[in-house]
Structure 1
Amino acid sequence: MRNSHTFIFFIATMLAVVTACGKKNTTEVAVVPPPGADTVVLKKGVLHQKGAALTALCVIPASSLTAEQKVLIATLQGVVAKTSGEQIYIDEGGASSVWKNYLSEKYKIRITNYTSWAELLRHFAPKVSGYVLYNRTKNIRSLTAANSLCGPMNAIAVDASLETAVITAGIKIKKADMRARDEKWIWEHYPATFSRSLAAEQNPAIDHHLRDYITLTNAFTFYDGETPWRVDVLKALQPEAFCFGYGKEEFSMVANAAAAGVVMLPTDLAANLAPLSSVYDEAPLKQQGRTTPAAEQNVHYVTFLLSDGDNVGYDLWSMQQYFSHPLRGTFNMGYTISPSLVDLAPAAMRWYYEKAANTDKGRDFFVAGPSGSGYTFPSKMPAAALDQYVQRLNTFMAKSDLNIVNILDQGALERMDLWDKYLAQPNIDALLYTGYGEAPGGSIRFSANGKPVIEAGDNLWAGLEEEATVISNINARPADPYSRSGYTLVFVHTWTKDMSAISTVIAGLNKNVRVVTPDAFVQLVRKNLGTK
């Protein structure tokens, strides 16, 4: 169980909440799409849709925008990114500024700064067909309904408080009035309107995050909790569909989606996905920290793996802050990261790989977050859906230079029928298993082709295992690389333990304990235990 999985990291730094996805109900009578429905066909990466090739950014600071102005500008981002290389970027500072600057330096993206949302709207007014009206104060779900229609109507979402100003800025056509509506009304009246490859479950209390990508991709948007209606929405999506955003309760959110053959992609707090996805970079992504470990006798091997990298919002914010810790690079470390960044934010993934530590003092190594290119419980997916998912994951792994997958599931450690499907893929060399709400057992087992499934041996997690406990547990285990008990995978809870905590554990370990990167750990397990 990841108590803080999506909710906590932005609460401490900016406004936050959560969301996910949806799609049209095939049981409804087909309805003609709304007048002037968008017909732009977007390019795709490995799987996810992308905006027009990025050439320039019009940047506006988030601090200059009110909540409803953020919604407006985010939906404008999505409309513009459908067809224009000149796009919009909301700069939130921190990691957000890091990506903006990297786009300028690495990809020579021209930057123009704006301080007025109205000026920005006037600049892009020719790209906009009109506006969809909502009133979040009187009906919070009217925003959810409006956001759904922005993409198909090529329109921006406008709160009632901004309507006059928007008309003054030159956007005079009201495409729809959702002030008294919600997403269920949209689902009933416009079932033929939305993308079938994704939907978005987005908390209506969130302002700009993800709303640009929702608009770009014509994603149906909802936020209903884990209800039968939500299941109907997910079942109406096509095979290989993803549900973006985040739901109200983690386990049931993921379990319900998995049972419908849909993979969750936590993105509810991901900003600027429209422009970030619009980077097209054919240069191969390459990890720097790969190494071939030297064989040693009478040692115990340990590797540390940081949690929550499946969350794209986390990858684009909190992980960058974690990565900036002064102790990074002073020891070997593993990080989970989403392979979907290959499509959604390739520049950010390249930044991590370029900045990764790669010296004898310490190396950084990346592993695909649970449970692959999105968050799912493989044990709850239909067999055919899982087959299709792991085959596509194999392509993501190659494109992102990843070769190990972190699996998060519950009560499924023994399910080698599932793990054999993953490990049959040529670009997946090992699985690192972390049980949802389960005590770590440290077991190691092998697929028929000799690839290992390695269970976490300890959780460095406040309230579960503190530093002293992890130190004591590891030091008590045998220094025997030819025994399964000679290896410990430590899963680090990113929300409660930082680099200082990991450094404290390492400092307390016996001299015959070796801390290695996850790739070296897997190589040693296969070499020393694979024939046993």
Structure 2
Amino acid sequence: RNRLEAYSWQFANLWPKTTHRMLIGISPTRSVGVNPELRDEWKEILRENRPISNASNREVRELDLTPFLGGSAVYLRFRDSHPEDGWGAAVGEVVVRADGKEVARFTPPAESEKPFLYDSGGSGTSPGSGGHRFADNDRRFVYKIVPPEGTKRLIASVDIWNQFEVSAQGREPARTHVEVPNAYMRDYAIANRAMAFWLDPNVKEERVLMERIMSDVEPYTPYLGWFAQDVAGEFGGTELASRHGVYILAADWFENMSVFSAARASVEPPKAPPVPKLENKVYVTFVMSEGDNLQYNQHAMRRLWDDPARGRVPITWTTTPLLLEAAPGILGYYQRTATPNDVLIAGPSGAGYINPDPWPDATFGMFARQTRRYMLRTGMNTVHILNRIDGQNIPLSESKARFYAAIVLPKGLFMSWENRSRSMMLKEGVPLSVLREANSAAGIRRAIEEAVRDWDGKSPKFVSVGLLAWNVTPSHLASAVENLDPAVKIVRGDHYFDLMRKAHSPGPRKGRQE
């Protein structure tokens, strides 16, 4: 049976017997890396050397695979030609012809791709741009093409863009990833008598079942786990959940949550250092990504936290105030070991990962009140928001801005993840700053230089830079900000908004002494 049939049976027969206090989205299997056992003989046949991340080089390219004929199959590998910045090979439709006759045609992530996908290599898929598979950083993917016996000429027409390296070989390569049973989060699901499912929000029939499940729970119910299709699943799944008043906690790789959530621990936010004096400077703050991600708190964030350069440069670390419930010991550790240059903030987009605008106004007050409650208990005073519809960033609506301003009462709001930073004061008097994405030390340096170049020098300028946690470390940041222009001042995220409020407050009246 396919998974839609299996989970439809679960919903009809098991759902009435399980808790409705939470939803668990975890895959039955997971992809794990393996040590190569077969010799690789890859030969590069196509490369994009330019650092391109906007699909401006998208076109259908013909790849001659004829030199690799002679065995039972030809293997075609796609990788990132600039693995340091995370904008690797993106592949849409693939058409293969043997002696002029079509033998394969598929577009990821459709079912038609599956017979040809030899090794997923940690790659992801998205229905965007007509559907495509992508391999960023050190990821890759390999297609296996079996030509008819006696084929003399083999040509692949590949719709490809961004930073790609394409190689081929005629003998079976080593697989880098295999599928094994997935045990993550099972302990927590069992302990809470919760039903686990794994549905794709971008597949119409599966989305309908997800909507039925989400419609059957109360507002502000957590969905712990993740979604099929990774980033594409994130966009579609988070919006779908938000429309049903359900918030997300990325936890599909979290270990032993039944233990971490039950263990008692001291949670005491560190005292913030004094706010620096407002000067006529370009104020820059750096915000680390992945605040929605519980397993990031458990694994990757700890590795970043142990970087010897942490503390040399102010960093605003997004996390979730719900660590207070899920893993208070982890939250307490970060609080106890924070330097004066480290500050934890909530996000995205508060007490749970949501897109605010799709969430119904009728129940958004509940989300805002819970966010305020958990931020007070964890000492967080700033929020990072991701607000998307159909995978696209959108401005925060006036109604949702009022909820944040009146109920959450943040020092300020960081917003989105875009190619330039913008800062403004909302009508409600709350400062908001759109993050400018930076995926490398060079990107950080470029963002700062652009900010200085565009500054008129007449009043303070405020620029927020988002750091992709999978690519940028405190050491990268420290090296990127060496020998900065004297006009630049780097501050913590909470101080950034304190200074922004002061810069936008009315000046002293005539005769008044400060």
Give the TM-score of the pair, scaled to structure 2: 0.63
1:60-119: per-residue Cα shift (whole Å, max 9, x none)? xxxxxxxxxxxxxxxxxxxxxxxxxxxxxxxxxxxxxxxxxxxxxxxxxxxxxxxxxxxx
CA contact (8 A) 1:300 1:477 kept: no
Q: Distance in 1 between matches of 2:477 and 2:421?
A: 20
> Cα distance, 1:470 vs. partner?
1.6
Could you tell me which residue of structure 2 aligns to residue 231 of structure 1?
Answer: 211
1:442 counterpart (422, 427, 442): 422
For structure 2, list consecutive stretches of 5 or more residues without a partner in the other structure: 31-181, 202-206, 508-514
Structure number with the higher helix fraction is: 1
Check 1:461–1:416 CA distance in 2 against 1; reply closer, same or farther (3 A cut). farther
> Cα distance, 1:238 vs. partner?
1.2
1:476 pairs with 2:300? no
Check 1:479–1:345 CA distance in 2 against 1; reply closer, same or farther (3 A cut). farther
Could you tell me which residue of structure 2 aligns to residue 92 of structure 1?
Answer: none
1:492 pairs with 2:467? yes
Check 1:515–1:311 CA distance in 2 against 1; reply closer, same or farther (3 A cut). same
Structure number with the higher strand fraction is: 2
**Structure having the higher Rg:** 2
Could you tell me which residue of structure 2 aligns to residue 107 of structure 1?
Answer: none
RMSD: 2.3
After the TM superposition, which residues 311-330 of structure 1 pair with which residues of structure 2 at under 5 Å, given as runs? 311-330=293-312
Aligned AA for 1:344?
A
Could you tell me which residue of structure 2 aligns to residue 219 of structure 1?
Answer: 194
2:244 counterpart (232, 256, 260): 260
Q: Distance in 1 between matches of 2:427 and 2:300?
A: 35
> Cα distance, 1:284 vs. partner?
4.8
CA contact (8 A) 2:282 2:462 kept: yes
What is the DSSP-based 3-state SS (H/G/I as helix, E as strand, rest coil) of the residue aligned with 2:415?
strand
> Cα distance, 1:247 vs. partner?
0.4
CA contact (8 A) 2:345 2:382 kept: yes
Check 1:470–1:441 CA distance in 2 against 1; reply closer, same or farther (3 A cut). closer
1:16-45: per-residue Cα shift (whole Å, max 9, x none)? xxxxxxxxxxxxxxxxxxxxxxxxxxxxxx
1:348 pairs with 2:326? no
Aligned length: 343
CA contact (8 A) 2:320 2:346 kept: yes
1:386 counterpart (348, 358, 364): 364
1:364 pairs with 2:342? yes
> Cα distance, 1:351 vs. partner?
0.1
Could you tell me which residue of structure 1 aligns to residue 353 of structure 2?
Answer: 375
Q: Distance in 1 between matches of 2:494 and 2:445?
A: 26
Aligned AA for 1:234?
M
What is the DSSP-based 3-state SS (H/G/I as helix, E as strand, rest coil) of the residue aligned with 1:228?
helix
What is the DSSP-based 3-state SS (H/G/I as helix, E as strand, rest coil) of the residue aligned with 2:385?
strand
Aligned AA for 2:431?
P
> Cα distance, 1:414 vs. partner?
4.8
1:406 counterpart (384, 400, 416): 384
State the identity %.
22
Q: Distance in 2 between matches of 1:365 and 1:503?
A: 17
What is the DSSP-based 3-state SS (H/G/I as helix, E as strand, rest coil) of the residue aligned with 1:331?
coil
CA contact (8 A) 2:23 2:196 kept: yes
Q: Distance in 2 between matches of 1:189 and 1:422?
A: 40
Give the TM-score of the pair, scaled to structure 1: 0.61
Q: Distance in 1 between matches of 2:412 and 2:29?
A: 39
Could you tell me which residue of structure 2 aligns to residue 526 of structure 1?
Answer: 501
CA contact (8 A) 2:239 2:354 kept: yes
> Cα distance, 1:467 vs. partner?
3.5
Aligned AA for 2:12?
E
After the TM superposition, which residues 134-149 of structure 1 pair with which residues of structure 2 at under 5 Å, given as runs? none
Q: Structure 1 runs of 4+ off > 6 angstroms?
A: none
1:295 counterpart (248, 270, 277): 277
Q: Distance in 2 between matches of 1:513 and 1:312?
A: 33
What is the DSSP-based 3-state SS (H/G/I as helix, E as strand, rest coil) of the residue aligned with 1:304?
strand
CA contact (8 A) 1:197 1:240 kept: no
Aligned AA for 2:234?
E
